[in-house]
């Protein structure tokens, strides 16, 4: 078990943002489902990516990772497993993507996981899959057992659940013999993540017809092997935008590796942090970020209302900045954050308040009243990578050290986070507490 001590510092320099975990999941899946070997480049071995490769290996695929070039050589199935156990570790994307894929391949599979993953809801599949030829056995969450082979047809589900259910079906349905349709019974949240899936499917030769509330998927399609390079991760870039907003210095931070034309929904970070008061200039794949009002009260930042329905992963980073912005910030449409690696609304409220902030939980989000500086102290990381990383920015405007538990959780998505933070001039002392 690790904890991290963050201390006040001034940041400057450049950072290369790690590759998008969301895009990496999707590229690896499409590569496995294609007919020939291909290379997926610019991938970090975070725990979530390891979970996806583990599950696909259990299905019968092969992966060879070159740590120097950060490149996977992916060998598709020579023979699909009849049955297997797939350990999804703590990755919600992995388990929700893999269940329908295994069903489409006719694999009798048992999905297991650790941490909070066994508690995360899978009732959508428990309801849908038996209507389409697949038996499910679960006591609620994981372990989740399936048997039988998925059948084509219409899949009706609500849009206000995790988009991962929709993406999982989109990967699987092109493999079936007949045509299928996914229809939403309510408006879609986190739409950008479904857009990422459709974009990746098209890159690998799969045709999807998109309508306003549905997707039509022809059966008997073939994934085509292509080499693919994963772009930078906008959800991780948000942590460095938060640091720049709270940086007690006029020095600039240069964020490299970002695609301004990306389909990632968290690209909205640029607009959100500009509204808070951060200056963001972009040229090619480099963002130049700084706070020209860093020396003013409340760091020259001002709160406002933020709809988090399409950007849930950004809420931890945003909430830390809002805690130190003048006035009130209301984050709404964020109720699904209660079902992440932890209850992120509760985690951020408790962490920020423990450090001297003023945060209230609302029915669907957070109400944050800004303070000019935090006192510091100890906050619980709740075994959540995004909570631990977000609190690094809090230390920049804190009178005393910020001590955060569960520092090991960054390995879920960004194993080199502390090194990159220190490279910019941040102070992060990681301590093993047994």
- Active site residues per annotation: 313
CA distances to 61, 292, 381 from 316, in Å: 36, 23, 11
Phi, psi of 219 (to 5 degrees): -85, 175
- As a whole number of angstroms, the distance between CA 103 and CA 172 comes to 8
CA distances to 12, 324, 340 from 18, in Å: 18, 27, 21
Q: What's the order of all strands across the beta sheet hosting 108-112?
A: 83-87, 108-112, 144-148, 134-138
Asked whether 425 and 418 are in contact (CB, 8 A), the reply is no
Q: Angle at CA 328, nearest 5°, toward 322 and 331?
A: 65
- As a whole number of angstroms, the distance between CA 355 and CA 383 comes to 18
Alpha helices in 185-232 (DSSP H): 191-203
Strands 144-148 and 134-138: antiparallel
Q: What are the E-state strand segments in 124-231? A: 134-138, 144-148, 154-157, 180-184, 208-210, 214-217, 228-229
What burial class does residue 281 get, using C-beta atoms within 10 Å of its C-beta: 0-12 exposed, 13-18 middle, 19+ buried? exposed
């Amino acid at each position: 078990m690790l904890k991290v001590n963050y201390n006040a510092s001034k940041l400057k320099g450049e950072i290369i943002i790690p590759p998008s975990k969301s895009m990496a999941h999707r590229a690896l899946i499409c590569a496995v489902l294609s007919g020939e070997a291909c290379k997926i480049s610019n991938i970090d071995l975070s725990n979530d990516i390891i979970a996806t490769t583990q599950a696909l290996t259990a299905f019968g695929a092969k992966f060879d990772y070159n740590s120097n070039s950060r490149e996977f050589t992916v060998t598709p199935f020579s023979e699909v497993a009849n049955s297997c156990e797939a350990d999804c570790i703590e990755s919600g994307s992995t388990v929700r993507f893999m269940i329908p894929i295994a069903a489409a391949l006719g694999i009798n599979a048992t999905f297991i996981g650790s941490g909070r993953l066994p508690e995360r809801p899978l009732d959508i599949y428990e309801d849908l899959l038996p209507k389409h030829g697949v038996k499910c056995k679960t006591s609620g969450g994981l372990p989740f057992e399936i048997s039988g082979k998925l059948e084509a047809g219409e899949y009706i589900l609500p849009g206000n659940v995790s988009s991962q259910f929709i993406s999982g079906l989109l990967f699987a349905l092109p493999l079936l013999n007949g045509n299928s349709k996914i229809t939403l019974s309510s408006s879609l949240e986190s739409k950008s993540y479904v857009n990422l899936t459709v974009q990746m499917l098209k890159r690998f030769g799969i045709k999807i017809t998109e309508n306003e509330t549905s997707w039509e998927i022809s059966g008997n399609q073939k994934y085509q092997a292509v080499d693919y390079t994963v772009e930078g991760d906008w959800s991780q870039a948000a942590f460095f935008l938060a640091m720049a907003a709270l940086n007690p210095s006029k020095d600039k931070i240069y964020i490299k590796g970002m695609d301004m034309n990306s389909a990632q929904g968290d690209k909205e970070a640029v607009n959100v942090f500009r509204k808070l008061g951060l200056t963001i200039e972009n040229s090619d794949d480099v963002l130049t970020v700084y706070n020209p009002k860093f020396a003013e009260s409340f760091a020259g930042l001002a709160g406002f209302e933020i709809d988090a329905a399409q950007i849930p992963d950004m809420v931890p980073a945003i909430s830390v900045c809002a805690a130190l912005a003048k006035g009130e910030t209301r984050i709404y449409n964020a109720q699904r954050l209660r079902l992440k690696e932890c209850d992120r609304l509760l985690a951020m409220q408790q962490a920020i308040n423990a450090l001297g902030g003023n945060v209230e939980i609302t029915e669907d989000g957070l109400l944050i009243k800004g303070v000019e500086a935090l006192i510091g102290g100890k906050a619980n990381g709740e075994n959540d990578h995004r909570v631990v990383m977000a609190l690094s920015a809090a230390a920049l405007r804190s009178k005393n050290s910020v001590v955060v538990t569960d520092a090991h959780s960054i390995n879920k998505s960004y194993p080199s986070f502390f090194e990159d933070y220190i490279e910019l001039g941040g102070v992060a002392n990681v301590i093993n507490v047994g």
